[in-house]
Amino acid sequence: MSDLHEDTAALLAEAKTPTRRPTVAALEEKLFRPVHVLDHGFVRVIDYMGDDAAIVQAARVSYGKGTKSQRNDRGLIRYLMRHRHTTPMEMCEIKLHVKLPIFVARQWIRHRTANVNEYSARYSILDREFYIPEPGQLAEQSNSNRQGREQPLSSEQAQAVRDILRRDAMTCYDTYTNMINDDGTGEKIDPNAPQVARELARINLGAGYYTQWYWKTDLHNLFHFLSLRAHSHAQYEIQVYAEAIAEMTKLWVPMAFEAFEDYRMGAAHFSTDEVKILRAALDGVSLREFLKGSDLSAREVNEFRKKLGKI
């Protein structure tokens, strides 16, 4: 499993072909070039279809002359995003090549509306590459957030954890190599030992080992992915991938991305009761008084304050 696919050299060549398809110069510059993520991972754009104008074009097919009132593309895209008219966003597609730890892949794959070709450890041999968190990322279990981390470890503690993670990963890989008894050429290392089937040997490798895949999705589903995985509640190790992809998306469809940030990433959602409270507050009722008398649970009151930056 080489980091970059063997014909990458060819792909990276400056050779360009003329096309009549919509082309995004800013993204063309980045095509095939890996953006490094975590200690051994990367993301790179392999192909894309469509641009901001393709979203507008699809919306205009739907609405016909009904879109004439939207004087410009930016306004129309913002309108679509605001009102969750998502089908025109589906008219853009992107294909990525990602190298990522298995535990990240396990979260990522839950996004079902995507096409995936993953490296198969039944067919081929996994490399000795595994994720060791940076010391600053090694943190204690959060008490308030059951699925999060909180207080970073001391640098000694962090170093100890890193050492033991590396030790276990190396031990397991040595076992793997011994079991498959293959130096990658198909030749036996130990001529007297068996070559255990790869599909069995790989079960000894941990969730920190790297895999890779081609992942292709449309812009609507990409935004959904980003809204969940670039979110502060996502696990750090998938967040960094989401952020790298967000940067690429910004180059690809700058208007749609701006609308996504304004209406999705930075937006807040208020429940029926919360809207009532907001209305009363704007009419001069003290927020503090109102919350006291409300049906909101303590947890909801906290979430409400957080959304308004009143913590």
Residues between 254 and 293 that touch a second copy (CB under 8 A): 261-263, 265-275, 278-279, 281-282, 287
Beta-sheet pairing, 149-152 with 115-118:
unpaired
> Which of 35, 196, 291, 301 is in the footprint of a second copy by CB under 8 A?
196
User: CA 242 to CA 255: how far, in whole Å?
Assistant: 19
Give me 196's structure tokens.
């255990």
Residue 3 near a second copy by CB under 8 A: no
CB nearer to a second copy: give 172 or 251: 172
Which one-letter DSSP state was computed for residue 303? H
**Alpha-carbon torsion (10, 14, 16, 22), positive or negative:** positive
Residue 302 near a second copy by CB under 8 A: no
Residue 195 near a second copy by CB under 8 A: yes
Q: Which helix (H) or strand (E) holds 117?
A: strand 115-118
Residue 306 near a second copy by CB under 8 A: no
Distance of closest approach, residue 21 Cβ to a second copy, in angstroms: 5
Q: Give every CB contact of residue 182 below 8 A, 6+ residues apart in sequence.
A: 125, 188, 189, 195
Quick one: angle between helices 73-82 and 52-63, nearest 10? 70
Task: Tell me, by CB under 8 A, how many residues bind a second copy.
Answer: 140
Give me 152's structure tokens.
């970073």
> Which of 9, 72, 164, 302 is in the footprint of a second copy by CB under 8 A?
164
Catalytic member of 229, 264, 279, 305: 229
CB nearer to a second copy: give 283 or 293: 283
Pick out residues in 54-73 that bind a second copy (CB under 8 A): 54, 57-67, 69
Residue 31 near a second copy by CB under 8 A: yes
Distance of closest approach, residue 272 Cβ to a second copy, in angstroms: 3
Cα 288 to Cα 138, 251, 273, 283, 301: the distances in Å are 38, 44, 15, 14, 10
Pick out residues in 224-243 that bind a second copy (CB under 8 A): 235
Residue 203: phi and psi, rounded to 5, are: -70, -10
122 is catalytic: no
User: CA 236 to CA 95: how far, in whole Å?
Assistant: 23
Pick out residues in 67-106 that bind a second copy (CB under 8 A): 67, 69, 75, 79, 82, 87-88, 90-91, 93, 95, 97, 101-103, 106
Say if residues 291 and 301 touch (Cβ distance below 8 Å).
Answer: yes
Residue 189 near a second copy by CB under 8 A: no
Q: Of 35-43, 110-118, 242-250, which segment contacts a second copy by CB under 8 A? A: 110-118
Residue 149 near a second copy by CB under 8 A: yes
Q: Which residues are identified as catalytic?
A: 229
